[in-house]
C-alpha cells in the first residue's frame, strides 16, 4: 500500500462517513451539513475563546487555539484538494456580501485575540487581569481531590460510552421492527 493511499484511508476513517449505513443521499447530505455546522461552530468558538484568553493574559492558550484553527483549516483544504475540489472556488460562488461578512467576523475575532495577546507580551500585563488561586492544605486532601477527579471523569466517560451504546441498540431495534412491520404488510 502506498503512502498516499494510507493517508487517504486515515482521513476517511477520521471523518467516519463510510461506515454509516445511510439509506439515501438526503440523509448523507444532511449529516455532512451537520458536520460542516459543527466545524463552523468550533471555529467561531475557538476564535472567541482565543480572544477571551488573550484579554485575560494567557498567550500560550491563544497561540494553541490559533494553531488548532490553522491545522483544521489546512486539513480541510488538503482533503478537498485530494478529492479534486477547490474550496476557494466554491466560496467564490456564494453571495459576496455573506462571504465577506463571515470572513469579517473571523478576522475581527482573530485580530482582537492577536492584538490582546501582543499587548500582553509587549506590556507584560493583561488587558483584563484575572487571577484565580486555589489553596488546598494537606497532602491527603490533595490526593483525595486528584483521585476523586479522576474517578468522576472516568465515570463520565463510561456513562457517555454506555449512552452511545444504548442509543445505537435502540435505533437498530427500531429499524429492525420497522423492517418486520413492512415485511408483515407485504
Q: What is the pLDDT of residues 122-159, one digit of tens each?
A: 888 888 877 767 676 788 888 888 899 899 999 988 99
Tens of pLDDT along 70-117? Answer: 998 888 888 888 888 888 888 777 788 888 888 889 899 999 999 998
b/e burial code for range 16-51 (CB count within 10 A of at least 16 → b): eeeeeeeeeeeeeeeeeeeeeeeeeeebeebbeebb
**Alpha carbon of 140 to those of 106, 135, 143, 146, 154: distances in Å?**
47, 13, 5, 10, 21
Per-residue pLDDT at 49: 92
**Mean pLDDT, residues 33-59:** 90
Per-residue pLDDT at 81: 87
Q: Is residue 58's pLDDT more than 60?
A: yes
Per-residue pLDDT at 134: 67
Per-residue pLDDT at 151: 92
Per-residue pLDDT at 16: 67
What average pLDDT is seen over the chain? 83
Q: Is residue 182's pLDDT more than 90?
A: no
Per-residue pLDDT at 155: 94
Amino acid at each position: 500500500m502506498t503512502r498516499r493511499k494510507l493517508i487517504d484511508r486515515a482521513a476517511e476513517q477520521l471523518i467516519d462517513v463510510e461506515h454509516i449505513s445511510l439509506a439515501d443521499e438526503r440523509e448523507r447530505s444532511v449529516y455532512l451539513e451537520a458536520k460542516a455546522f459543527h466545524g463552523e461552530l468550533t471555529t467561531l468558538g475557538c476564535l472567541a475563546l482565543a480572544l477571551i484568553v488573550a484579554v485575560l493574559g494567557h498567550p500560550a492558550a491563544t497561540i494553541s487555539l490559533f494553531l488548532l484553527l490553522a491545522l483544521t483549516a489546512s486539513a480541510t483544504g488538503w482533503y478537498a484538494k485530494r478529492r479534486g475540489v477547490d474550496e476557494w472556488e466554491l466560496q467564490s460562488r456564494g453571495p459576496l456580501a455573506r462571504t465577506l461578512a463571515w470572513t469579517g467576523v473571523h478576522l475581527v475575532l482573530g485580530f482582537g485575540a492577536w492584538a490582546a495577546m501582543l499587548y500582553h507580551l509587549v506590556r507584560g500585563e493583561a488587558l483584563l487581569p484575572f487571577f484565580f488561586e486555589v489553596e488546598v492544605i494537606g497532602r491527603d486532601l490533595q490526593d483525595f481531590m486528584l483521585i476523586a477527579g479522576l474517578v468522576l471523569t472516568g465515570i463520565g466517560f463510561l456513562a457517555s460510552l454506555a449512552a452511545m451504546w444504548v442509543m445505537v441498540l435502540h435505533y437498530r431495534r427500531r429499524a429492525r421492527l420497522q423492517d418486520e412491520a413492512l415485511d408483515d404488510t407485504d
